[in-house]
Amino acid sequence: MQEFEFIRHIHRHCEELPANGFEGIGDDCAVLELGDEALVFTADALMEGVHFLRHTTSPRELGHKALAVNLSDVAAMGVRPVAVMLSISLPRDLDEGWAEAFIKGFTALAKQHQVALIGGDTTRSEQGIALSVTAIGRGPRTSLKRRREAHVGDTLLVTAPLGASAAGLRELLQGHLNHPLAAQHRTPQPEIEVGMWLGLRPEVHAMMDLSDGLASDICHIAEESHVGFDLDLATIPVAEGATREDAICGGEDYKLLLTANSDSAAQLCRDFEARFARPLYPIGHISSHEMRWHEKGVAVATPTPYFHHF
């Protein structure tokens, strides 16, 4: 059975359930608005052999990554991650050093971003390590950025050069475990301060994090906002050591993709650079219907996303 078939079952049965004030499936996080405030919620599972291999990822790096991917979802909503829950299932053959190193990696990133660890579950696993992390974010209701808020005419932007993670995965699979790009794949840095800063800017309309790859993720903004886009391949910033294909088709960069009012985009870019000492990158525009890819003005075929898990 395919994952998407299962998701279809879930959607069909979910429709019979109440919303209870939550905005559910369809964005990086579920949202609960409470007066002037909003809380957001996200959960991710990481399975050994599917999302990571024990011999190519150290436990400390895995602890970092398990948290990073969830914090990234919260950052993509424009608010601060405040708390996480960790459920972890460990096989008997794992030595104690592994678990302690995992927790060190997890809590080091939590400490860096001042996130509370408020609960979870620890159990035994018959085979393989299973991880599940739930993250909670909190912020002003007006800061929330959703995938469905892109407007026709908006400028499309990304917050950093892309492709380092896909290039790093290639190095890993070739056995170059200590390659600097491999480290970027194993320990992504979520754009938390950047996400919160963009949350406070009213000219930013839609936002999401890049986890499956630009070619794939941009379609979610288009679908949820009922819009199209014009995107020029030549304007996409490529991370050092990555190919342009990595930047467009590779996943797990955990940088942010956003749309902003085009009248304000130039000022937004200047303010971003003044605040973060690095550029914000315009890569195209939101249009009314079609999803169109160009290269220096010439239409090209839609890029095919990599299959980026093991």
Q: Interaction with its own copies in 13-42: which residues (CB under 8 A)?
A: 13-14, 16-25, 29-30, 32, 34, 37, 39, 41-42
Q: For its own copies, which is the closer residue by CB, 43 or 177?
A: 43
Total residues interacting with its own copies, rule: CB under 8 A: 75
**Site residues (CB under 8 A) for its own copies, limited to 193-222:** none
Nearer to its own copies, 73 or 253 (CB): 73
Two structure tokens written together for 300: 């090209």
CA-angle at 162, arms to 303 and 253, nearest 5°: 100
d(CA 210, CA 65) in angstroms, rounded, equals 15
**Which is closer to its own copies, CB of 12 or CB of 296?**
12
Residue closer to its own copies by CB (options 94, 269) is 94
Is residue 137 within 8 A of residue 234, CB to CB? The reply is no
| Angle (deg, nearest 10), helices 96-112 and 59-75 | 30
* Binding segment (CB under 8 A) for its own copies, from list 45-53, 147-155, 207-215, 272-280: 45-53
Pairing assessment for the beta strands 22-23 and 155-158 based on DSSP bridges: unpaired
Nearer to its own copies, 87 or 261 (CB): 87
Answer for which of 33, 56, 104, 219 binds its own copies (CB under 8 A) is 104
Q: Tell me the C-alpha to C-alpha distance, in Å, between residue 209 and each of 57, 63, 141, 189.
A: 23, 20, 19, 12
Measured from the CB atom, the residue of 88 and 206 that comes closer to its own copies is: 88
Stretch that binds its own copies, among 48-56, 180-188, 196-204, 290-298 (CB under 8 A): 48-56
Mapped onto helix, strand or coil, the DSSP state of residue 184 is helix
Least distance to its own copies, CB of residue 57, Å: 15
Using CA atoms, how far apart are residues 10 and 23, in angstroms rounded to an integer?
A: 16
The least CB distance from residue 306 to its own copies, in Å, is 17
No. of helices (H) and no. of strands (E), the chain: 9, 13
Residue in 50, 173, 234, 300 binding its own copies, rule: CB under 8 A: 50
Q: Which residues pair with 287 in a beta bridge?
A: 228
- With a CB cutoff of 8 Å and minimum separation 6, the contacts of 242 are 161, 162, 163, 164, 166, 167, 181, 250
Nearer residue to its own copies within complex by CB, 42 or 155? 42
Query: What amino acid is encoded at 114 in this protein?
Result: Q
Residue 92 main-chain phi, psi, to 5 deg: -60, -30
* Residue range at the interface with its own copies (CB under 8 A); choices 12-20, 186-194, 201-209, 240-248: 12-20
Binders in 107-146 for its own copies, by CB under 8 A: 107, 110-111, 114-128, 130, 132, 134, 136, 138
Backbone angles phi, psi at 134, to 5 degrees: -115, 130
Give the footprint of its own copies on residues 135-194 (CB under 8 A).
Answer: 136, 138
Contact letters for its own copies, residues 54-93 (x by CB under 8 A): ----------------------------xx-xxxxxx---
In whole angstroms, give the CA distance from residue 137 to residue 49: 29
Residue closer to its own copies, measured from CB, 86 or 268? 86
